[in-house]
Chain A
Amino acid sequence: MKRVTVDPITRLEGHGKIEIFVNDAGEVANVYFQVPELRGFERFCVGRPVEELARITPRICGVCPEAHHMAATKAIDAVFGVEVAPTGRLLRELLYNAFYVTDHTTHFYILAGPDFIMGPESDPAKRNILGVIGKVGLETAGAMIKLRAEAAELISMIGGKQIHPVCGLPGGVSQAITAEQRDRMVQITTGMVEFAKFSLQLFDDVVLANNDYVELIKSDAFTHETYYMGMVDENNKVNFYDGKVRVTGPDGTELEKFEGSDYLAHIAEHVEPYSYLVYPYLKSVGWKGFVDGKDSGVYRASPLSRLNAADGMATPLAQQEYERYFSTLGGKPVHATLATHWARLVELLYAAERAHELATDPEIINPDVRNIPTGIVGEGVGVVEAPRGTLYHHYKTDDKGIVTNVNLIVGTTNNNAAISMSLKKAAEGLIKGGTEIGEGTLNMIEMAFRAYDPCFGCATHTLPGDMPLEVTVKSEATREVITSVKRNM
């Protein structure tokens, strides 16, 4: 099959393109997706003081700047070989969990919500946040906006700025918080826990109470048996900020657990001639193509994966939800891609509870927030769980801390192979010979894509619209467009 070309970028925030090729019988032959590639990042970084990367890398992406800030800061700790001051670590983790609350909330209400609350085949003009508000009411929307504003307030108290935090320094953070700020954070995080509980209840009422949705989630078209990656603490509980990377298999057993700094021994990258995307896979299993099963090294890194790869959640309410999630969906592991939305809400509750725990930790107002580095190692890896998957930052420097080499694996990239597979399987399940391919069908295929919440490491803003996503059905033989849907123009 010839190389799939990407149109000139329509506008930033990522340009998504899904191409479905059908054969003469009208059956799916192949499915590709493409996203834009940004160029020259390593060249941009080389020659700069490594500390600057904590402020540069967040600008790769307007969606999760906090994740890049944290991964970068941890990599820089390692480059200087400095232990992080305990309170510095608490503040970083608090900021990071508050960010998760915002990110997961936004995804549920703005991206996932419309599919479920409005219905996957509803009029696209109503399948959006405004339609959601029409259904769930202004009060909920107002609460969501308020939560975002309060989370931003908390993040700026620690991070120094709302959008692109600047607090992370080797050995800790730049400033301590006051008792008054702490009191406000306790108040804000209390609200976060309530909102997370409410959101799970809403998911119950809207999604789980609707048998059609539950069947859709569990359906074979949206299922893949893959490996799962996620960071865990010393008790194998989900942790977003720190821990070891654990990989479990399609049967739920642990394949491996490694330090983030050893990632190159565990992850390799496959390339395809038709695409500039890279497809990471597990080295110990090997690349067997775009297939699932225990012999294929394809893995996923997402909320679904983190819950599968861990033994539980470290906070009480989230643990209850974790248990309910698995018991409802038939036990561990859950392979249903669309269950990612539910998993995301379980994580939302954990993030809120964890933020509250940290805000109420007596040590959080300790003024000693940073250890000053005294030497340099010259190489470091920083790993966090970004909302869209495990995020690796790897830097090398000279003996003065000037960057010589940078390697990143960003959250979405982990899932490139799985996204391709999910799109193909959904398309195969929904497009049969002779069936009419309508907007609703293409949206269902997009739902497989959206579950991963792909983020394209692109720029930060949107003009004239948001991410244009184009789904095109083409004839395999003639390459003529049979039908297409574009979500932008």
Chain B
Amino acid sequence: MTLGSTLVLGMGNPILSDDGVGLLVAERLRGTTLPDGVEVLQSEVAGLRLLELVRGFTRVIIIDALKSPAEVEREPGEIVRYEAKDFKGGHRYGSAHSIGLDTALELGHTLGYDMPGVVTVFAIEAVDVETFGEELSPPVAAAAERVLGMIAAELAAGADAA
């Protein structure tokens, strides 16, 4: 990685149906022409291991599946754009044997690591992330196509800003 570089990180589980969408998007992106200084990775893990992955990049764009609580009423395949600040609100720990994104980022800063200044997340509302399978549901598969355009725009905007 180099100074001023961007990491696009597709996250998920390739054998839990819609949870594989982030990994698929990353794979598709690798097949496209990307601006200089953009690296694409896939990750099946989060927490502390995520911290180790994002170190050294100035900007990180994460693509992942999302399963919202029923009361939020999101449509399957809806794409929600988050920034790191949206994840603030308590450094919680359950029994995930891991830590959340915000805690991972703050931990990196606390330890004096070179951490990304900009973290953007594209989360795709999933239909099913609890059944073993390698296929995406139709709305999520369609969203994977749409999010590619959004990432391209995000990367272009980032380049302009630089």
Partners in one complex: yes
List residues of A whose CB falls within 8 A of some B CB.
Answer: 7-14, 16, 36-41, 43-44, 56, 59, 62-63, 103, 106-107, 110-111, 114, 124-125, 127-131, 133, 138, 141-142, 145, 148-149, 152, 163-164, 449-450, 453-455, 459-469, 487-489
C-alpha spacing A455/B121, complex, angstroms: 26
Chain A residues contacting B16 (CB-CB under 8 Å) are 38, 59, 459
Chain A residues contacting B93 (CB-CB under 8 Å) are 110-111, 114, 127-129, 466, 487
C-alpha spacing A386/B36, complex, angstroms: 43
C-alpha spacing A125/B131, complex, angstroms: 34
In the A-B complex, list the 4 residue pairs whose CB atoms are closest, starting with the nearest.
A467-B94, A467-B96, A466-B96, A44-B132
Q: Are A460 and B110 in contact (CB under 8 A)?
A: no
Out of A43, A130, A467, name the residue touching B132 (CB < 8 Å): A43
Output the least CB separation between A484 and chain B (Å).
14
Binds A, one of B39-47, B139-147, B149-157: B39-47
C-alpha spacing A62/B51, complex, angstroms: 15
Beyond A44-B133, A469-B94, whether A13 also contacts B49 by CB under 8 A is: no
Output the least CB separation between A132 and chain B (Å).
10
Beyond A13-B46, A39-B131, A110-B93, whether A465 also contacts B87 by CB under 8 A is: yes
Q: Besides A145-B111, A463-B65, 4 other CB < 8 A contacts?
A: A59-B13, A107-B97, A461-B50, A463-B46
Out of B91, B111, B121, name the residue touching A463 (CB < 8 Å): B121
Beyond A16-B94, A111-B97, A163-B45, whether A463 also contacts B123 by CB under 8 A is: yes
Q: Are B52 and A128 in contact (CB under 8 A)?
A: no
Task: Find residues 4-29 in chain B having any chain A CB closer than 8 Å to their own CB.
Answer: 11-16, 19
Q: Are A36 and B130 in contact (CB under 8 A)?
A: yes
Out of B70, B91, B101, name the residue touching A130 (CB < 8 Å): B91
Q: Are A62 and B95 in contact (CB under 8 A)?
A: no
Closest to B93 in A: A128
Output the least CB separation between A66 and chain B (Å).
12
Closest to A459 in B: B13
Chain A residues contacting B44 (CB-CB under 8 Å) are 59, 62, 163-164, 460-461
Out of B89, B97, B111, B121, name the residue touching A489 (CB < 8 Å): B89
Closest to A388 in B: B97
Chosen A-B contacts, 21 in total, with CB atoms closer than 8 Å, are A9-B129, A11-B67, A12-B65, A38-B16, A44-B133, A59-B15, A62-B46, A106-B98, A111-B95, A124-B92, A129-B93, A130-B110, A133-B107, A152-B49, A461-B64, A464-B86, A465-B87, A466-B94, A466-B96, A466-B98, A466-B99
Out of A41, A124, A463, name the residue touching B66 (CB < 8 Å): A463
C-alpha spacing A38/B17, complex, angstroms: 11
Chain A residues contacting B97 (CB-CB under 8 Å) are 63, 103, 106-107, 110-111, 453, 455
In the complex, which range does the number of interface residues on chain B fall in? 35 or more
Q: Are A467 and B95 in contact (CB under 8 A)?
A: yes
Out of B13, B51, B89, B111, name the residue touching A461 (CB < 8 Å): B13
Chain A residues contacting B45 (CB-CB under 8 Å) are 62, 163, 460-461
Beyond A8-B69, A463-B66, A464-B82, whether A44 also contacts B15 by CB under 8 A is: yes
Q: Are A462 and B92 in contact (CB under 8 A)?
A: no
Q: Which of A11, A39, A469, A489: most chain B Cβ within 10 A? A: A11
Interface string of B96-113 (1 = CB under 8 A from A): 111111010011001110
Q: Are A12 and B82 in contact (CB under 8 A)?
A: no
Q: Are A13 and B98 in contact (CB under 8 A)?
A: yes
List residues of B whose CB falls within 8 A of some A CB.
Answer: 11-16, 19, 43-52, 62, 64-70, 82, 86-87, 89-101, 103, 106-107, 110-112, 121, 123, 129-133
Output the least CB separation between A219 and chain B (Å).
21
Output the least CB separation between A204 and chain B (Å).
23
C-alpha spacing A197/B70, complex, angstroms: 47
Q: Are A464 and B87 in contact (CB under 8 A)?
A: yes
C-alpha spacing A189/B52, complex, angstroms: 20
Q: Which of B51, B66, B89, B130: most chain A Cβ within 10 A? A: B130
C-alpha spacing A43/B133, complex, angstroms: 9
Output the least CB separation between B135 and chain A (Å).
11
C-alpha spacing A310/B49, complex, angstroms: 33
C-alpha spacing A38/B130, complex, angstroms: 5
Q: Which of A43, A59, A103, A454: most chain B Cβ within 10 A? A: A59
Q: Are A8 and B67 in contact (CB under 8 A)?
A: yes
Chain A residues contacting B90 (CB-CB under 8 Å) are 124-125, 487, 489
Beyond A43-B132, A129-B103, A453-B97, whether A464 also contacts B66 by CB under 8 A is: yes
Q: Are B92 and A59 in contact (CB under 8 A)?
A: no
Q: Which of B67, B87, B96, B111: most chain A Cβ within 10 A? A: B96
Q: Are B133 and A464 in contact (CB under 8 A)?
A: no
Chain B residues contacting A127 (CB-CB under 8 Å) are 93
C-alpha spacing A196/B68, complex, angstroms: 40
Chain B residues contacting A489 (CB-CB under 8 Å) are 89-90
Closest to B16 in A: A459
Q: Are A459 and B129 in contact (CB under 8 A)?
A: yes
Beyond A44-B15, A107-B97, A141-B111, whether A128 also contacts B129 by CB under 8 A is: no
Output the least CB separation between B111 and chain A (Å).
6
C-alpha spacing A36/B82, complex, angstroms: 26
Q: Are A466 and B92 in contact (CB under 8 A)?
A: yes
Out of B19, B99, B100, name the residue touching A464 (CB < 8 Å): B100
Closest to A462 in B: B46
Chain B residues contacting A464 (CB-CB under 8 Å) are 66, 82, 86-87, 100-101, 123
